[in-house]
Structure 1
Amino acid sequence: MPAKAGIPGGEERQRLSLAGAPASAGATLALYVHWPFCVSKCPYCDFNSHVRSSVDQEQWLEALLTDLAHEARHTPGMKLGSIFFGGGTPSLMPPATVGALIEAADRCWGFAEGIEITLEANPSSVEAARFADLAAAGVNRASLGVQSLDDEALRFLGRAHDAAEGLAALDTAQANFRRVTFDLIYALPGQSEEQWRGQLGRALSFGTGHLSLYQLTIEPGTRFATLAARGDLRPADPDHGATLYEATRELTESAGLPAYEISNHARPGEESRHNLAYWRYAPYAGIGPGAHGRRAGLFTRRHKKPENWLSALSRNGHGIEEEALLSPAEMASETLLMGLRLREGVELDRIEPAIDRTAVARLQREGLLAVDERLRATPAGMLVLDSVLAEICA
């Protein structure tokens, strides 16, 4: 989704004022740590995840600490508002590794009051057994990849756990972490509205303050894309997907977890602070293979393949493959692309260079956008958000 980074002229360099602007005293930064390894590759997944027969844990800890120190040197005067361990499957990391990275981050930046520290986890019994140690290491929010409460659907999605194991892991997570969220995937082939309503109603009964609810998307390069191209997998009809999306918003809203982002639902105050930093286009640093960052007016992207990232670290002291200064127009475009995903929308004065006012006015008349001092997608606009963005981007 981010725009391609470019190098603006000298005048534009003096006008950088959006995400990644030079740090001011007390400014907060979001830190993303990517752990790229998984036990197996799910057929729908296009994330930067890799299966390896073994991982040198000591080597990887040292490498991540080196990458972290590089980012800290380039973001002086900031405190961390959030840390997010993503992947891959970061719950495969030894808790001691997680703790060492949290301690190093605190030494390098210092923590803002009430810092949110999230770790993604698979809901297997093996990984759930580490939850108490991960909480002791400093993780205070768990994000579980439950994906479905139905065993047949879990087999279709290539998940290693069954529904009972997933629910047991959820219980363990709720006993150990201050905050817990979990993911579900819907609009699976053949899934009816009644089936999805039943599953979502059950999920809402578990008492977590946050849910991430995603329609199944066939991503290029995945196993599902190959099956779809052969005709062996038929995705849900878009109109049916829209019906399920509307049912999702209805049920979560009535349960007190309204959608604050197109796929994320939370009780007020339980929103993901880390992801809000992305969607609000606030500064963030990313370390580990394939991680992106926006800080000090720069776009950063690290080497994607784990071995290439390690080689870059040994050569350069960091894993960055590409770094470029973003122009105000590019930053405004990224602010628009991220911010319009949010229910709150985005401030108009931050995106003025990126929007076609004529298209905005037309889509407002059609009921797809709302405009005051902010630009927001209406519920109808959220259903066709990609098309809305394509029309209004200048």
Structure 2
Amino acid sequence: MTLTRPSAFGVYIHWPFCLSKCPYCDFNSHVRHGGVDQARYVAAYLREMQTMAERTGPREVTTVFFGGGTPSLMQPETVAAILDGIGRYWSVSRDVEVTLEANPTSVEAERFRGFRTAGVNRVSLGVQSLDDASLKALGRLHSAEEALKAVAIARSVFDRYSFDLIYARPGQTPDDWAKELRRAIAEAAEHLSLYQLTIEAETPFFALRQSGKLSIPDDDTARDLYDMTQEVCAAAGLNAYEISNHARDGAECRHNLVYWRGDDYVGIGPGAHGRIEQDGRRYATATERRPESWLMRVEGFGHGLVVDEALTREERADEYLLMGLRLAEGIDPQRYAALSGRPLDAKRIAILRDEGAVETTAEGYLRVTQAAFPILDAVVADLAA
């Protein structure tokens, strides 16, 4: 990986609406019981795209990702109109990856063929658990049976699909998790995203934990669950290419690699983030989070940006370090030096290597060892100091 390698270019579309708010979720998602004027939002997405395309200039889109919220609540016609807009304002790679996040409810699964016709070629299902009691505790609106039916529909409609599971749930043991994970792998073609439950501030789960009404596995048990995850997935040929993502070789989510490798991407929609090159500088962008406020901003100004900042060399390098070390492939130290204007501290690297926390690959990349992934933040902080 060098600064001169061909760069990917992604478009992220944020659809912020959900049927309900999960108690663990701190994403920018909103419930609107009165419905959503999808035609009005489509017009705003297209307007914001036009503004951002004027900034990026001609680029070839290699990945598109519909995230949320719950993008599977969109009508297929809405998805098609947005994809048509992307093709209008940029060129699109012939092998573009177009991912849409979906809830595995029967109602949303019925839209899968429509999404495929619209241009989606990869779906990511928020299954979260294959245990009904856990699904209820997580605030999910589907059962395990319904989720597996949705996975089967996805398998029949899309060549590529993935689904998410949450582990380190209250009361979960490594043996319980291993059984659930093996069942999931039997249903997964090529990719699984496996996230440890974290308690985020300003969520209902945070309040429950503060009041002593919710407990999650302690650090030792969480580590055992993590180790079990790696063992079971590796045995099934689903290697961890990123700290929480497992895939067969060649089946990695290409859009997420755009983030982790430090490539450019445009963020469109309420609360969407982006990173774009303009006039030799890299800009961090973010839009207004509240959907109605974003809508009014776009209709008035052509965009909903509330953050639009040129990153310093140090910020760019730190971001590359933070994101790139999440990957099993690691980072290119030469690229880090080119971004920051200074090399990584060789003495720090030597100490971390002696401690078994980092290693250098045959290609010269620096990466965090599998054993040290659970303490990734500490390793990154040490290298960035």
TM bin, normalised by shorter chain, reads over 0.9
Which of 367, 375, 380 aligns to 1:376? It is 367
Please provide the CA RMSD for this pair.
1.6
Query: Which amino acid in 2 is paired with 1:323?
Result: D
- Structure 2: distance between partners of 1:301 and 1:181: 27
Which amino acid is the alignment partner of residue 326 of structure 1? L
1:12 corresponds to which residue?
none
Which stretch shifts more, 171-180 or 138-147?
171-180
> What is the alpha-carbon distance in structure 1 between the residues aligned to residue 7 and residue 235 of structure 2?
36
**Would you identify which runs of 4 or more consecutive aligned residues in structure 1 move more than 3 Å?**
352-358
Q: Which moved more, 1:87-96 or 1:204-213?
A: 204-213
Q: What is the DSSP-based 3-state SS (H/G/I as helix, E as strand, rest coil) of the residue aligned with 1:203?
A: helix
Q: CA deviation at 1:28?
A: 3.7
1:393 aligns with 2:384: yes
Separation (CA, whole Å) in 2 of partners of 1:113 and 1:386: 37
Equivalences for 1:234-273 in 2 at 5 Å? 234-273=215-254
Q: Which moved more, 1:352-361 or 1:149-158?
A: 352-361
Q: Would you say 1:120 and 2:109 are equivalent positions?
A: no
Contact 1:27 1:79 in 2 (8 A): no
Q: Deviations over 1:139-175 (max 9, x none)?
A: 0000000000000010010000000110111111111
1:26-55 deviation digits (Å, cap 9, x = unpaired): 854100000000000000101000111221
**1 CA distance for matches of 2:112 and 2:64?**
17
Match of 1:76 in 2: 57
SS across alignment from 2:321: helix
Identity of aligned residues (%): 49
Query: Given that residues 149 and 163 in structure 1 are in contact (C-alpha distance below 8 angstroms), is that contact kept between their aligned partners in structure 2?
Result: yes
* Cα displacement string for residues 262-300 of structure 1 (whole angstroms, at most 9, x for unaligned residues): 000001111000000000010111000111111111111
Could you tell me whether the CA contact under 8 Å between 1:258 and 1:267 is conserved in 2?
yes
Cα distance per residue 1:44-91 (max 9 Å; x no partner): 101000111221111111111111111111122211000000000000
User: C-alpha offsets along residues 306-351 of structure 1, whole Å, 9 cap, x if unaligned?
Assistant: 1221121122111111111112211111000000000000100222
> Are the equivalent residues in 2 in contact too, given 1:32–1:83 (CA < 8 A)?
yes
Selected match of 2:43 from 54, 59, 62 = 62
How far off is 1:361 after superposition?
A: 2.2
Rounded Cα–Cα distance in structure 1 between residues aligned with 2:122 and 2:110: 16
Match of 2:165 in 1: 184
Question: For the structure 1 residues 309 and 201, does the alpha-carbon distance in structure 2 shift closer, same or farther, using more than 3 Å as the test?
Answer: same
| Residues 249/27 of structure 1: CA separation in 2 closer, same or farther (3 Å cut) | closer
Aligned partner of 1:148 in structure 2 is 129
Shift in CA distance, 357/226, structure 1 to aligned 2, threshold 3 Å: farther
Contact 1:27 1:77 in 2 (8 A): no
* Aligned AA (2:17): F
Whose RCO is larger (CA < 8 A, sep 6+)?
1
2:189 equivalent in structure 1: 208
CA distance in 2, matches of 1:238, 1:357: 31
8 A Cα contact 1:28 1:78, kept in partner: no
Q: Is the 8 A contact 2:23 2:138 kept in 1?
A: yes
* Alignment-derived partner of residue 306 in structure 1: 291
**Are 1:33 and 2:13 matched, yes or no?**
yes
Alignment deviations for residues 160-206 of structure 1 (CA, whole Å, 9 cap, x no partner): 00001101111111111120000000111111111100000011111
Kindly indicate whether the alpha-carbon contact (under 8 Å) linking 1:83 and 1:274 is maintained by their aligned counterparts in 2.
yes
CA positional deviation for 1:363:
1.3
1:168 counterpart letter in structure 2? K
- CA distance in 1 between counterparts of 2:32 and 2:306 reads 22
Greater shift in the superposed pair: 71-80 or 85-94: 71-80
The amino acid of 2:231's aligned partner reads E
Query: 1:365: which partner in 2?
Result: 354
Q: Which moved more, 1:144-153 or 1:379-388?
A: 379-388
Which residue of 67, 73, 81 maps to 1:92? 73
User: What stretches of structure 1 of length at least 5 have no aligned partner?
Assistant: 1-16
| Counterparts of 1:366 and 1:113, CA distance in 2 | 45
Contact residue 145 and residue 182 of structure 1 kept, 8 A: yes
Structure 1 residues 277 and 27, CA gap change in structure 2 (3 angstroms): closer
Question: d(CA) in 2 for partners of 1:357 and 1:302?
Answer: 39
Q: State whether residues 27 and 78 of structure 1, in contact with CA within 8 Å, keep that contact through their aligned partners in structure 2.
A: no
